[in-house]
Amino acid sequence: MSKAVLTIDDSQSVRQMISMTLSAAGFKVDEACDGADGYSKATAGAYSAIITDLNMPNMNGLEFIRKYRAHPSSRGIPIIFLSTESDEASKREARAAGAIGWIVKPFDQNQLLAAIKRVIGA
């Protein structure tokens, strides 16, 4: 059975690239268009990892992580930030909220795949 990953990004092309990359490696990928959509899907589904953008409408990535981490289903689920932002203050804030990794856009597909495999032990 394949491991499921939820990707949350307001850019359809970024979601498609992530989905293509991870699906080709055997992962099941679900997509959400913003943090609010991601929260609904994350709390309703069973995911091995979540990848989220930072800057999105309705609910940004930090808001998503804070809200999701308050939900019991988030326990033990690794969250990776995928963002154009790369400053240390943003990274510290994301880690404090509950993210365990950070990948800067544009991303390398092999880097993304390696990060997912590392955090879920695949």
pLDDT tens figures, 72-103: 999 999 999 998 888 889 889 999 999 999 99
For every residue of 24-53, DSSP letters joined together read HTT-EEEEESSHHHHHHHHHHS--SEEEE-
Q: What is the mean pLDDT of residues 2-20?
A: 95
Do 109 and 118 meet the contact criterion of CB atoms below 8 Å apart?
no
The pLDDT value recorded for residue 90 is 87
CA 41 from chain centre, in angstroms, equals 12
Average pLDDT score over the chain: 93
Rounded-to-5 percentages of helix, strand, coil across the chain: 45, 20, 35
Asked if the model's pLDDT at residue 13 lies above 80, the reply is yes
